[in-house]
Structure 1
Amino acid sequence: MNKNKNDFEHLNSDSRALWDFEAQDFPLPDGGGMGRLQRFDFNNVLRLYRSEFRVQRDCVIDTSAGESELPNLLCSVLLLSGEMLLETPDGKQYKITPQSGIVYRVRDNGTRFLMKGGQTLRHIGVAGKISGLHKQLGETLPGALACFSSFPESGVVSRKVPVNTRLRRLLAYVFSPGACASDPLQEIALEGVSMSILAEMARTILAGDTECEERASLWGEQIFDNLTAYIRCNLDAPLKAEDLCQRFGIPRRQLSQLFLVSAQCTPREFLRRERLERARELIEQESVPVKLVAAAVGYSHVSNFSKAYRDYFGETPGHTLRMSAINTTTDE
């Protein structure tokens, strides 16, 4: 269980300049910023990527892998912060956000990351051999996972994955200070977390089969849109489920089911996510002091806000603020 030093993956600029990712820090293409990437191999069947991109200008990164190994990998892209587009070799693009990741399998090289400037992306990727999935789940993969067993004519198979609370906790752990320490025991822990991430994504894909999709069409999308718009406009208020039910005239059970079907989370989890995502925007884009940010998103105690923020993003709000100041200085 060691970090692999072969040439499995390289990221190239549009001028095809080869990068050495064994270095801790590296420049993004065309003066786009700086990045850091670590890769861990576990028992030759599971792989973890942990990377951070401090993107100052729009940037395109190409990925490449060994032609014999690539078709046998089930890959994923997940984000703790930032947004980007994943473009697969068939030309299709998928928006990746902290709320929505992707699991995919490609036959050929040509996958690209398209990143907008002015943001910090924290990326986690878990890749496993498709044979390992068959070994655990059987020769015929169950339910919605069956599509990954073979390639269509396009040579690309993909499924979007909503990031639920359990998956979010696992992703945050990957970037926690303890997990980032150089410690063989932490590598053992990261192996377990990587397996849990892969299992949670598979479970989410299976749970997202046709039943929930059919039920979602029966719910009032307008009610849900009104609910979420109201929440986003009142993040500083002490919002409670009972108050939402009374305002929109729906019972508690219907409120819970509406969020479960439409957002794959509970109302409480949705509120927490929106508050913390808004907090990061205020810190990164406007450099608002942490105490003011906490109040602006409904936290009366800075300590509670800091803990929630660290649990969600894997870093403290103070760290985000310091990085924002550094990036602003660099831009100038």
Structure 2
Amino acid sequence: MNQNQSVLPPEFNAEWDFEGTEFPLPNGAGTGCMQVVELTQGGKFYCSEFRVKANCIIDASADAGKASQLLCSQALLSGQLTLETPDGNQYANTPNRSLLMRVCKSGGRLHLPGNQVIRHIGVTLPLDNEGLSCPEMDPILSPFAQETDNCLVRPVYWQKRTRTLATELFQLASRTDQPLHILKRDGLARCFLASLLEDYASQQQTSQLAKNNISVWEQQIADQVCDYMRLNLSTPLRGDGLAAHFGLSRHRLNEIFRILKGQSVSEYIREQRLTTARVQIEIEGLPVKVVAHNVGYRHVSNFTSAYRQHFGVTLGRSQSTAVQS
């Protein structure tokens, strides 16, 4: 047994927890199993498990015409992945961070890091569903209900009750022979989505209250800091230096970024460096050493490690993408 096989979780050789369609992951990276069932009164319930031995990317495309009329959710009980929408934006999906979305284009992908078991559930409902289209839901769902060609994804840090419902849904997927199974599944699926929407609404309210404590001047400063970062990615960028340059304390600048961007200054810098790097590698086809310098990494080894950790793919995989395109 080689070294890579010896560290694989024992779940890799276990029976699937539910009945579904089994399929191989790309390039021998592992296996997956998915159960998809229609809910009564519209919508679908998805339950899947991915046993990922090596980093891989799988297609997550849907019929754009149908998906644009759906409110979709994606939640993980174990593992982690990154959703890449057709417009190129990426969203981390972890056991603490679920996703609510409306997808209006085909071409989405899931980036699956290796050496893990990912357990996933999802519930979709039509936006014109009676429970979603009532006037009381307008404050929560108005961004999702607007006609747009762009994909809309909102991360949600779910609460304990929502996770409990997700766990019950996953367990119920293996009990299809039980009496009242369909009724239980449909009820739990709707309760799960409703609970996730409650978490989202609470999160939005807290964020809005925080934004009200930021002055217009501070919002303008944040925009200026972001512009400055984008123009100076090849130089050392530090939170304390940026704060001093723009006349704020480091603590206050971090507060502003966490409220407006959902990230600290250092997290935002890192994301900008690596997102720019991926464009330069996959689209512009620049050499790795040049890209590393362009985005502020003095050592290629550090850049390589950061890139793989952030995107779940190696630089070599991104370079091959550039060659194929």
Q: Report the TM-score, using the length of structure 2 for normalisation.
A: 0.55
- Counterpart-to-counterpart distance in 1, 2:103 and 2:80: 22
Instruction: Spell out the pairing of 1:150-169 with structure 2 (5 A cutoff).
Output: 150-153=146-149, 155-169=150-164
Identity %: 33
| Corresponding residue to 1:142 among 134, 138, 141 | 138
State the shift of 1:46 in Å.
2.1
Structure 1 residues 137, 69: closer, same or farther in 2, change over 3 A?
A: closer
- Counterpart-to-counterpart distance in 1, 2:44 and 2:20: 18
- Counterpart-to-counterpart distance in 2, 1:194 and 1:152: 27
| Aligned partners of 2:165 and 2:188 also within 8 Å | yes
CA RMSD of aligned residues (A): 2.5
- Counterpart-to-counterpart distance in 2, 1:198 and 1:129: 12
- Counterpart-to-counterpart distance in 1, 2:133 and 2:70: 16
Structure 1 match to 2:263: none
Give the letter for the 1:185 counterpart.
L
| Aligned partners of 2:104 and 2:148 also within 8 Å | no
Structure 1 match to 2:121: 124
Give the letter for the 2:194 counterpart.
A
- Counterpart-to-counterpart distance in 2, 1:131 and 1:61: 30
- Counterpart-to-counterpart distance in 2, 1:92 and 1:140: 30
Give the letter for the 1:102 counterpart.
L
Structure 2 match to 1:48: 45
Structure 1 residues 56, 207: closer, same or farther in 2, change over 3 A?
A: same
- SS of alignment partner, residue 114 of structure 2: coil
- Counterpart-to-counterpart distance in 1, 2:144 and 2:154: 9
Give the letter for the 2:120 counterpart.
H
State the shift of 1:136 in Å.
4.2
| Aligned partners of 1:60 and 1:113 also within 8 Å | yes
- Counterpart-to-counterpart distance in 2, 1:170 and 1:202: 13
| Corresponding residue to 1:206 among 198, 201, 208 | 201
Structure 1 match to 2:192: 197
Give the letter for the 2:112 counterpart.
M
Give the letter for the 1:145 counterpart.
L
- Counterpart-to-counterpart distance in 2, 1:217 and 1:80: 34
- SS of alignment partner, residue 117 of structure 1: coil
Larger Rg: 2
- Counterpart-to-counterpart distance in 1, 2:84 and 2:192: 22
| Aligned partners of 2:86 and 2:108 also within 8 Å | yes
- SS of alignment partner, residue 192 of structure 1: helix
- Counterpart-to-counterpart distance in 2, 1:140 and 1:196: 17
- Counterpart-to-counterpart distance in 2, 1:108 and 1:140: 28
- Counterpart-to-counterpart distance in 2, 1:179 and 1:39: 10
Give the letter for the 2:46 counterpart.
Y
State the shift of 1:157 in Å.
1.4
| Aligned partners of 1:35 and 1:53 also within 8 Å | yes
State the shift of 1:180 in Å.
1.1
Q: Which runs of 5+ in 1 are unaligned?
A: 1-21, 219-261, 263-332
Structure 1 match to 2:298: none
Structure 2 match to 1:66: 63
| Aligned partners of 2:127 and 2:133 also within 8 Å | no
Aligned length: 196
| Corresponding residue to 1:172 among 152, 167, 170 | 167
- Counterpart-to-counterpart distance in 1, 2:209 and 2:162: 24
- SS of alignment partner, residue 86 of structure 2: coil
- SS of alignment partner, residue 175 of structure 1: helix
Structure 1 residues 97, 206: closer, same or farther in 2, change over 3 A?
A: same
- Counterpart-to-counterpart distance in 2, 1:179 and 1:138: 30
Structure 2 match to 1:182: 176
1:133-179 CA distances to partner (integer Å, 9 max, x unpaired)?
A: 6x5442584324210111445x2112111121001101111222x54
State the shift of 1:77 in Å.
0.8
